[in-house]
A and B are shown apart, each in its own frame.
Chain A
Amino acid sequence: MTVSLRRALTAPATIATYLLLVVPLALGWLKTSLLSPLALPGYLIYVIGTAIGNVFASRLAFWVYWIPFFAGCYGVAVVVGYGYELLRERFLTASNDEPRR
């Protein structure tokens, strides 16, 4: 019982998670008043990322951190998508193993 890498990279749960992390924060970046509670996960990732980066590269402008943010969020989304697909696979297998009545 495994989930292929390709499936984890493009699973609906991966895409949904990625958009949820990126879109609400990106909207807020365009106009601060568009920030919403949905931006919180992406906000925490972005702020913590800039705080760590700022220790090592204090002169780096903050807009540069959008690049690792986009990549990092995709990594998080793939992990979530993989986990979701694995659970779904297990659930389906367990359902199929049940004796028919």
Chain B
Amino acid sequence: MRRRRILAAGGVLAGTVVTSVASRSPDEHDLVSAARHPGSGDEPETNTESILPNTDHETTLYEIDAPRDGPTAMIFGGVHGDEYNGIDVGHEIAEGWYPDAGTLAVVPETDRVAVENDEREGIDGDLNRHFPVDGDPESELARGVWEAVERHDPDVVLDLHRSLGIYGVHRQYVGQAIFHSSDARGDELAAALNDAVPWYLPMHRFVARESHLSGPLLFHKAARELDAVAYLFETTSFLFDRETKNEMTRVMTAALLERHGLLEAEGKR
């Protein structure tokens, strides 16, 4: 009997470890790969500017101009300082993504004080509640961010976040979801993301939800006042480590750039 128990335990342990290692998926997503490698044309030109220079909030906006004309997309990470996926991927984009057309503006550390303190909120609280429906942004940082948004007048806005749980599964959390304006391509982006979610994690599949845009959120204001196609992306910390959240964020960003004409899949270049 003891031998049977040891054999059963050993067999299961060895089997699970082997299966786990064997089923790892190291392949880079095609669109992420396309974003990381320049196309055949000239390389994009990157410029930087400061939002709120010489203040506690000073943060860098990177502007990447592709060789061909096209739409302008703005991407924000670090609106909440402890949501590393947007911060990490924002820096990756600034340092080595190559759009094929248009202009890509990225702010990796939107609330830099919150990022430095490793906290959700900065000096004036939650930045993503400072963009009211009928009125000016409610804090110095929000006003600085909004001035940059108005100056670049983006066609597309993407705000990168992470939640602690899963939308529709855990009542007060919104992970694995794409909230978007009415003219957006949320369902297509969710489908692209779900190609990267393993079939054996069914509750982690992404959902797209059209937003009523009536809240004080940055992407709401961009959609309301600039008619931008606006998205708020939420991955989750629930059973996902930092690298997996980052990969989901990369796939979302690359798929969005492709759907909105800033990036071509590698086969089409």
Where the two chains meet, the residues of A that have a C-beta atom closer than 8 Å to any C-beta of B are: 10-13, 15-16, 19-20, 23-24, 27-29, 31-40, 43-44, 46-47, 50-51, 54-55, 58, 62
Contacts and interface: CB of A to CB of B under 8 A. Distances in A.
A27 B16 CA distance: 9
Given A27-B17, A34-B24, A47-B169, A62 B244 contact: no
Contact of A51 (B4, B169, B239): B169
Given A24-B20, A37-B19, A58-B171, A32 B7 contact: no
A24 B19 contact: yes
Given A20-B16, A33-B243, A43 B200 contact: yes
Contacts of A46: 239
A49 to B, nearest CB: 11
Interface string B1-44: 10011011101110111011111110000000000000000000
Contacts of A37: 19, 23, 198-200
SS class, residues of chain A in contact with chain B: helix
Q: How large is the interface on B (under 10, 10 to 19, 20 to 34, 35 or more residues)?
A: 35 or more
A23 B23 contact: no
Given A23-B16, A24-B19, A34-B24, A10 B5 contact: yes
A34 B24 CA distance: 6
A36 B8 contact: no
A16 B9 contact: yes
| Complex A-B, nearest 10 residue pairs according to Cβ-Cβ distance, in ascending order | A12-B8, A32-B244, A16-B8, A19-B12, A36-B23, A34-B20, A36-B20, A12-B4, A40-B200, A36-B19
A82 to B, nearest CB: 15
Interface of B: 1, 4-5, 7-9, 11-13, 15-17, 19-25, 164-166, 169-172, 198-201, 203, 238-241, 243-244
Given A32-B240, A35-B198, A54-B171, A12 B5 contact: yes
B20 A27 contact: yes
Contact of A34 (B4, B15, B21): B21
A91 to B, nearest CB: 16
A38 B244 contact: no
B203 A47 contact: yes
B16 A33 contact: no
B200 A36 contact: yes
A17 to B, nearest CB: 8
A12 B5 CA distance: 4
A50 B171 CA distance: 10
B169 to A, nearest CB: 5
B8 A33 contact: no
